Structure formats: C-alpha cells, structure tokens
Structure 1
Amino acid sequence: MAEPGADKYFTENKAYAGLGRASLHSGVIFIAARGANIFVQLASTILLARILSPHDFGLVAMVIALVGFAPMLIDLGTSEASTQKTHITQADISTLFWLNIAVALVLTVLLAGGSSAVAVFFGEPSLTGIALVLSGTFILTALSTQHYALMRRAMQFRHIAMIDISANLIGSIVSVAMALTGWGYWSLVAKPIVTAALTVVFVWMSCHWVPGRPRFSSDVKELVGFGLGVTGFTMTDYLAKSADRIAIGYFLGAGPLGYFQNAFTIYSNLLSILTEPLHNIAASSLSKLRNDADELKRSWTLALSTLNFFSAPAFAVLAVTGQDFVVLLLGQKWAPAGPLLCIFAVRGIAHCVERTMGWLHVAAGRADRWMWWGVYSAVFQLMALAAGLPFGVTGVAISYTIAMFVLFVPALVYAGRPVGIGTKDVLQAVGPQTVAALTAVAVGFVVQQEFLRELSQFMRVFLSAMVCAVAYFAVVIGVFRVTDPLRLVLSVLRDFRAVRSPVSS
C-alpha cells in the first residue's frame, strides 16, 4: 500500500554523482549520533551498575545470550537483501514484512513456552519470568525491520540516528527510574521492551510506507535466498559471540558472568560506535559500485584504512586504561571486570577490522560466501572457548582475543576475493595501524607500571591515554607515513563548515 512520499524508497539502486561524498557525510553524522547513543547507553549502565548487583546483570545476561539471536532470525537477512538489490517493488517489501511477522510469532510462542526450561537449564527460577517478558520484543522487532531497511536504502541515516537516540534515551530513563524504585533486575528487562516499542512508533512515523498484501514472486524468492545466506552468517556469528556467556553462566554462575557481561558491554559499545553505522552506509554505497570494480576497490580501501586509523588507537587507549576506567565508572565492586576489559580492548584492534567483511560480501552479492565464513569462524572460536574455559573468565577473554587476531586478515581476504581484493590489499589498508596500536599498548603499559602507579586513578587514566595516543600516532604517521585518513577527515570537516557558514554573496 503506497503512502505519500513512499515512492522514494523504491527507486533504482545505482551510483549517482556525489555518492562518495554523500556517504562520507552520512558516516560522520551517523557516527556522531551513534556516539551520543553510546554515551546514553554507558551513562545508564554506570547508574544501573551502582544500584544493582553483578548477580542481577548476570541473570538478564543469561536470557539475552540465549535469545539475542532472535532479531537476526526474524530479519532473515531480508533487510540486507533489499538494501543491495537494484530493483525492488512495494509488493516485494510487503511480502518480506509479513514473513518477518510470521517468524517473530513462532519465536515468541517458542520462548514463552520454553521459559521454564531456560530456568531449569541455568538453575535460576527467576529466569522464567524474564524469558517470558523478553519474548515480547520479537514482534516489536519484526514491525520495524523492513521500514529500517527502506530508510537505509534511501540513505536516510540522519533520521535513523535520531530514532535510535530517542528510543534508547527514553528506554534508559525508564530503566534507571525502575532501578531507583526497587524493581531490581526487572529494570534491566524493561529497557529492551520500552526501546523496541518506541522504535516501532518512531520508525512508522518517519517512513511513510504501509505494508500491503503479501505476494510471492521470483523476486521475493531471490531476496529471501540472499537473506538466508546473510542469516547463515549472522546465526553462526551469534553462536560464536554468545557461547562464552552461556558457558560461563552454566559452569561459573551469575556472579562471574555479571563481571564478564559488563566488561563486554563497555567494549562492545565502543566497537558498535563505528562498525554498526558504517556497515549500513558502506554496504549501501559499495553495492551501488558493483559494476565498477576499480572504484569499488578504491572506495573500500580508503574507507577501511580511515576506520582503522581512528579505531585502533581508541582500543589501544582502552586496553591501557581499562582497569582504572571500570572502577571510575562502575565503582569498586566491579574491579574484577577491569582486567577483562583490558583484554577485550586488545581484541578490538583486530575485531573492528574483522567486522567490516560484510561490506564486501553484501556489495559483491555473495551472501553464500558470508555464510560459509561464519561457519568456519564459529568453529574456530568455539575451539578457543573450550581451550580458555578451564582458566575461568580471564582464560575465555584471552582465548577469544587470540582467535580474533588469527582470523581478521583471512576474513577480509576471503570476502574480497570476488571483487579482486587480496592479502596485499588488506595488509596495506590495515597493517600499519594494527602494528602502531599494539606498539602503543606495550608502551602504555610499561609507562603506567613504571612511572604512574602511585598517581590517582583519574590522573593515571589521563596520562596513560596521552602516552598511548602519542605512541600510536608517532608510529603510524612518523614511521609508516599514513596520512590519507587525516586528509580525508579534514576535507569532510571543511564541507560541514562550509554548509554551516556559507559565504554571503
């Protein structure tokens, strides 16, 4: 069913003049908005961590680790499929919408019916109610999936950012208010429910498209086929990412899992500031360049090099300051999460690069290769989990970090093969930044232990961060002469300045 203004979502998906610049501007806006969103997330986590116990966080983490795959299964990869496809119709998207709803209904019934089994599995009776309530997020996710996809296809990233920030802010406020009034772990359960409900409202208000009757066609089958390949990756990837929390919760209990979960939350928030918004923008933009291999490769190289140029020092700084950072943010009772955050942050240097492989798989239209890489990667990471689990939560964090450094270059080489990107291209794009970041971590730890141990936590964090940043840029610029990302960012900032301060005629 067409609504006024809905036609813009169904135009041909192809390159146009100024696409590269538009993508860069969208990236800056979306990353800034994502940063604001993460600030809200971290602020709420800090407040909740000071009110609630590690056991409360561990209880909710158990259920989320089991059911967090649901949004990916509900999506069935169809949002990626519709984003990259050259031609789509309103009938195609309507059919995908109702398919998402059907999958969500099945999952809701399964989780609600199996909530008691979840409690029995972990030996925590309160998980029955938690699982039952969280099953309500499935339908809410399905109601916004295709609207989000249409907005990404039309590159309406400013609107998406505002929706995400608004829903997250209100959900966080509700969660903290509930915690302050004695709701305990239910305040953690409420946040995803409230956020998902508001997201549906805001997305439907912003995207003026209303689904019609489903109509299966060859185009829909093609979209679903591509989407199933994406789902194959996201499901195996989720298994690899969540198996650690399931295993820790089962073998070590809610307390250790609470420390692990909050350290991982801080780490994953920093990771998602860049990787999640940039995936949407890069996949949309590079898909439009599918018929121009040289331009696709050039755009990919510059984008990846720039991302890594700024993400690597961020994770290096977090690795050096993580122990003090956790105590300053969450309080002394969370000190055992500090070393875990340091280990996760080292992993982030490689992980941020590895997360970009989807740019190439989607742009090349090869969801099948993305799926198979997910299988290989999941098997490897599960082996790492088995090796690290006997050594507790620290062993798990270390083993996963080693696994990521083994996988991240092969992941991009495998993704890039269909479009002519090889090992040399990947190493040239990310090698200098990775070496510089690891060097900065080593220098930062040495300086911190030798000269800064007697300082206050705040001063130690500040000075350690400065030392780490200086060491990184000294190596990446002074030794490797990597400067293109700086010039690119400066040019984009000049564009924004020109827009905000036009010269009067």
Structure 2
Amino acid sequence: MTAPLLQRASARPAAHHWRADRMRRAFFFASIEQYIVAIVGLASIAAVSRLLTAAEIGVAAIGIGVSTIAFAAKEFASADFLIQRRALDRSDINTAFTIAASASAAVSAILFGAAGLIEAAYAAPGIAVFLYVMCLAGLADAVSSPTQALLRREMAFSVLARVNVAAAVATAGTTILLADAGFGLISVAWGQAVGAATKAALSVAWAPMRLPIRPSLATWRAVLSFGGSKGAMTVIDRVYEALPQLVLGRTMSHAAVGIYNRSTVLSGIPDRFMMSAVFSFTFPALAARVREGGDLKSAYLKAFSYIAAVYCPALALVALIADPIVSFTLGEGWEPVVPLLRLLSVAAIFWVPMIITTPTLFALGANREAFLASLYGRGFGAVIIVGASFFSLTAMAASQFITLPFYAWISLRIARKRIGFAWGELALETLRNAAVLVSSLVLPCAFVLRSESGLGMMPLEAVLCGVLTVPGWLAGLWVCRHPLRKEVELMCVQMRNRGYEMRGISPLRAGARR
C-alpha cells in the first residue's frame, strides 16, 4: 500500500507544476497577442488619422457603432457556452455553430434592410454601403467565434495568438492601403471585413477537426440559458460604448464625432498596453481562489491593488503628456483632441473597481448581480451623456466624472455583499494606491514645471517623462509596502538569475560568493 501512496503523492506536485507551466505558457501567449494587436491597431490609427478627414472618421465611427450594437445581440447565444460546458460532445459543437450562423444571418439581414434608414437619419452619404460591408464581417465572425471558443477552452493560446495577430495585420493593412488609394471611409469597413474573413479562414485551417458535421439544435436550451445575463450585459455595454458617437452624430457635426472617437481611442492606450501584463498574474490567482474556496476577500483586495498600482499612474501619465501623444499619433489638425484626452484619461481612474468586480461576480456565478450593476450604472450614464451632448464635446468628456464614480459605487455595493470586504479595508487599499500614484508623478510634474515648453512638450520630452515615472513608482511601492512590491522583487531576482545563467554562472554560486 505504501508504494502506490508514495507514487500518487509524488505525482501530485508533478501534475501541479505541469498545470502551472501550462497556465504560464497560455497567459504568456495571450499577453504577447494583446501587445502585438495593440501595436498594430495603434499604427493603423496613426496612419488612418493622416489619410482620412475627421468627418470621414466620424461617419465610420457611427457605422461601426451601429453594427457593433446590432451584432452584440448574438451574445444571447454566445459561443462561450462551449468554454463553460463541463462535458462537451459533438452535439454541443454542432448546436453552437448552427445558432451562431443563424443569429449572424438574422442580424445581417435586419441591418442590411435598415441601412438606408440609418443613412437618412444621420444625413451621412456612405453609411449604407458601409453597413452592407459590415454585414459581411458579421457573417465571417459566425465561423470564427465558436472555433475560437473551443481553442480558449483548450487553452490553445499560441494558436489563438497567431490567428488574432494575422487578423489584426489584415485589418490594418487593408484599411491603410484602401485609405491611401482614396477610398475614403469605406476603407475602414473593408478592413474590418477582410480581418474577420482572415480570422475565420485561419481558425478553420488550424482547427479543422472542430468543424460541425451537420446543423443541429440539440442543446439550444443550454446555449440560450448560458447567454441570458451575459448577452444582456454585452448589449448594454456595446450600446453604452457606441452611444457618444451615435448621439453626437445627431447633435453635432460628423467631424465632432471623429474628434471624440479619437479621444476615446487614445485614452484606452493604458488599457491596451498595461493591463494584459497585470491580468497574467492577477486573474488566474483570483479564479483559482474561487475554485478552491479560499479567502476570496483578500484575493479581491490584492487584485484591486495590483491593477490600481499599474493602471492609475499610466492614465495620469497619458493625461500629462496628452499633447505629444496626439501630435505624434494623429498628426496635424487634431489639436481639439488634447483637452478631451486629458479629461477622459483622468476620469478613467474611476473605472478601476469595475475591472476586477465584474469578472469576480461572474466567477462566483452572480451573473444576475453583474447584469444589474451594468444596467443601473450604464443606464444612469446614458442619461448623463445624452444630456451633455447638447452642450459640447468638453461637457461629454467631463460627464465621465459623474457616470464612472456612480457605476463604481453601484458595482462595489453589489460586490461587497458577495465578497464580504469592509469599506475601511477598501479605503486603506485606495489610499495606498493613491500614494503610489502621487509618488510616480512627482518627477514628471517637476520636469514639466521646469521645462520651457510646459505641457506642449516634444515627443522626446514625453518619453523622458515616462522614464521619470519609474523611480517614483518604485519608491511608492516600497514606502507604502504595496503587495505588488513582492512581484517586482521576484521579477528582479528572476532577471538576475537569468543573467547569471547566460554567462554560465550558477545563481547559487553567485549568491554564495556575495
């Protein structure tokens, strides 16, 4: 009896390390994918902003907003059902593909029929053709989304990374080439369609065994049951994200829509470049804690601190160097974006609680609570945004200082009932992260005050500001005893040991020598 017990005991650590290595590998590829896609997208934004006018970009933003809201309805039959299914069989896969194709075809037909009415409502020639092309993108997505859900289920992130990077390059390349050739705003729609077709083709080519054998609706109840709350939340989120462009298209000029669109895109830079690295060690730990029934409160507060410590200083830095970011990224003629970018970046600090709260509620199975938080927060925000749109772009951007804190308050109240943290505990973590934020900005602000150009600095001065945030950020982590400090220390040790290994020196011998 002893030998089998010892074998099983020794097998457990091996299995644990295998799962840990697989998890690290998966999130490594996921992070690399996000970084590359973000860089490609930013390059596309820079090129298109120089090739199209603000009015053309505004009309394209309206078209993308309308199509995004329309195709969000597919989430009521989300292919992510395949990820959550405990035991998956061929009927589940056939049903997911059948429902995805049927939903996409129905939405495309409705959008195709309404395109003329939408063009007349916005008095923007070209939107109808734009929406026709976006219907093709939606149909292609019906092929790729179930296959990608299966790949995520299997944690095949290396395959997903190759597919999504290729799709991003195809989207950006097509858009830039057509815009440079003089096709105007329709180049954006064709870029989306070619990117979606590329994603569908590669998903099928690299995962041929996952294609459905025949149409089926065998497990349609399970698909629709899973997609209920998630689909409703997705629709609400997509409507809220597209609302500024759609409302501005009716109350202001199309050029104003383009300016506001570019402001929101640039304010999302920290989200694209910073958060993927944080997610790689925050959310896996949180999900594991939920599965194991551990202390969820401490995991939640720690994840909140990790995210706030990275995200908030990055947003503040974007607000500080908004002028060179706009001039370098968008080029000449986009100066009105600068003040809007500053307002949106600072206001986005209030978004931090939702980054961690919504996934936590879903991990706990509290889908209804997550939906209600989104409904109340987004509903209130929609009323404020619509009202602000009748005044100015600045009023719309400033309205985020009302809508985001309210949404954060609603989400935290709901999360507190499920997680059990005290307001004082959250306040303590918030104060600690505020101290890290202030510490990280001391040197950049001092540099700006002593510089002759002030906030209108050159790109190289902006890079220097970014570098100057690092010493203050590290000092804030150490002085405040921030939990992220341990991660930084561990990263430094691993980098040092890697350096020793590259030089053929054992880390243990190097430590003994010191």
TM-score band w.r.t. shorter chain: 0.7 to 0.9
Deviation per CA, 1:59-118: give whole Å up to 9, x if none. 100111122124432232634443234333331232122111111111101111011111
| Residue 37 (structure 1) aligns with | 37
For 2:356 and 2:151, locate their aligned partners in 1 and report how far apart those are by CA, in whole Å.
21
| Residue 8 (structure 2) aligns with | none
Give the conservation status (yes or no) of the 8 Å contact 2:377–2:406: no
- Give the secondary-structure state (helix, strand or coil) at the position aligned to 1:333: coil
| Residue 327 (structure 1) aligns with | 327
Once the two structures are superposed, the pairs formed by residues 264-343 of structure 1 within 5 Å of their partners are 264-273=264-273, 290-294=290-294, 300-343=300-343
Deviation per CA, 1:429-482: give whole Å up to 9, x if none. 655335533675687557525534268512431343344444444334323544
Give the conservation status (yes or no) of the 8 Å contact 2:75–2:234: no
| Residue 382 (structure 1) aligns with | 382
In the TM superposition, residue 337 of structure 1 has moved relative to its aligned partner by 0.9
Deviation per CA, 1:322-363: give whole Å up to 9, x if none. 122101221121111112122222233332542333321221
Compared with structure 1, are the counterparts of its residues 336 and 364 closer, same or farther at alpha carbon in structure 2 (3 Å cutoff)?
Answer: same
Once the two structures are superposed, the pairs formed by residues 356-367 of structure 1 within 5 Å of their partners are 356-367=356-367
Compared with structure 1, are the counterparts of its residues 377 and 322 closer, same or farther at alpha carbon in structure 2 (3 Å cutoff)?
Answer: same
1:461 equivalenced with 2:455 (yes/no): no
Correspondent of 2:488 among 465, 469, 486: 486
For 1:375 and 1:352, locate their aligned partners in 2 and report how far apart those are by CA, in whole Å.
18
For 2:277 and 2:465, locate their aligned partners in 1 and report how far apart those are by CA, in whole Å.
29
In the TM superposition, residue 167 of structure 1 has moved relative to its aligned partner by 1.1
For 1:188 and 1:61, locate their aligned partners in 2 and report how far apart those are by CA, in whole Å.
9
| Residue 4 (structure 1) aligns with | none
| Residue 76 (structure 1) aligns with | 76
Q: How many residues align?
A: 488
Deviation per CA, 1:258-287: give whole Å up to 9, x if none. 111112122235424455798799778755
In the TM superposition, residue 398 of structure 1 has moved relative to its aligned partner by 1.4
1:211 equivalenced with 2:200 (yes/no): no
In the TM superposition, residue 385 of structure 1 has moved relative to its aligned partner by 0.9
Which structure would you say has the larger Rg?
A: 2
For 2:436 and 2:147, locate their aligned partners in 1 and report how far apart those are by CA, in whole Å.
41
Q: Which runs of 5+ in 2 are unaligned?
A: 1-14, 507-514
Once the two structures are superposed, the pairs formed by residues 178-193 of structure 1 within 5 Å of their partners are 178-193=178-193
| Residue 16 (structure 2) aligns with | 17
For 2:432 and 2:363, locate their aligned partners in 1 and report how far apart those are by CA, in whole Å.
26
- Give the secondary-structure state (helix, strand or coil) at the position aligned to 2:86: coil
For 1:381 and 1:76, locate their aligned partners in 2 and report how far apart those are by CA, in whole Å.
23
For 1:91 and 1:380, locate their aligned partners in 2 and report how far apart those are by CA, in whole Å.
41
- Give the secondary-structure state (helix, strand or coil) at the position aligned to 1:294: coil
| Residue 511 (structure 2) aligns with | none
Counterpart of 1:465, as a letter, is G
For 1:82 and 1:284, locate their aligned partners in 2 and report how far apart those are by CA, in whole Å.
20
In the TM superposition, residue 294 of structure 1 has moved relative to its aligned partner by 0.9
- TM-score, normalising length from structure 1? 0.85
For 1:90 and 1:287, locate their aligned partners in 2 and report how far apart those are by CA, in whole Å.
28
| Residue 6 (structure 1) aligns with | none
For 2:277 and 2:212, locate their aligned partners in 1 and report how far apart those are by CA, in whole Å.
26
Compared with structure 1, are the counterparts of its residues 178 and 349 closer, same or farther at alpha carbon in structure 2 (3 Å cutoff)?
Answer: same
Compared with structure 1, are the counterparts of its residues 319 and 226 closer, same or farther at alpha carbon in structure 2 (3 Å cutoff)?
Answer: same
Give the conservation status (yes or no) of the 8 Å contact 1:30–1:157: yes
In the TM superposition, residue 366 of structure 1 has moved relative to its aligned partner by 2.4
For 1:52 and 1:170, locate their aligned partners in 2 and report how far apart those are by CA, in whole Å.
19
Compared with structure 1, are the counterparts of its residues 249 and 502 closer, same or farther at alpha carbon in structure 2 (3 Å cutoff)?
Answer: farther
For 1:264 and 1:17, locate their aligned partners in 2 and report how far apart those are by CA, in whole Å.
42
Once the two structures are superposed, the pairs formed by residues 7-406 of structure 1 within 5 Å of their partners are 17-18=16-17, 19=19, 22-76=22-76, 78-207=78-207, 208-216=209-217, 220-273=220-273, 290-294=290-294, 300-406=300-406
| Residue 11 (structure 1) aligns with | none
For 1:495 and 1:294, locate their aligned partners in 2 and report how far apart those are by CA, in whole Å.
32
Kindly indicate whether structure 1 or structure 2 has the higher relative contact order, using CA contacts under 8 Å at least 6 residues apart: 1
Counterpart of 2:433, as a letter, is Q
In the TM superposition, residue 256 of structure 1 has moved relative to its aligned partner by 0.9
Compared with structure 1, are the counterparts of its residues 363 and 428 closer, same or farther at alpha carbon in structure 2 (3 Å cutoff)?
Answer: farther
- Give the secondary-structure state (helix, strand or coil) at the position aligned to 2:321: helix
In the TM superposition, residue 181 of structure 1 has moved relative to its aligned partner by 1.5
Compared with structure 1, are the counterparts of its residues 280 and 463 closer, same or farther at alpha carbon in structure 2 (3 Å cutoff)?
Answer: closer
Deviation per CA, 1:137-161: give whole Å up to 9, x if none. 1111111111111111222222212
In the TM superposition, residue 41 of structure 1 has moved relative to its aligned partner by 0.8
Give the conservation status (yes or no) of the 8 Å contact 2:340–2:394: yes
Q: Which runs of 5+ in 1 are unaligned?
A: 1-15
Compared with structure 1, are the counterparts of its residues 96 and 425 closer, same or farther at alpha carbon in structure 2 (3 Å cutoff)?
Answer: farther
1:477 equivalenced with 2:496 (yes/no): no
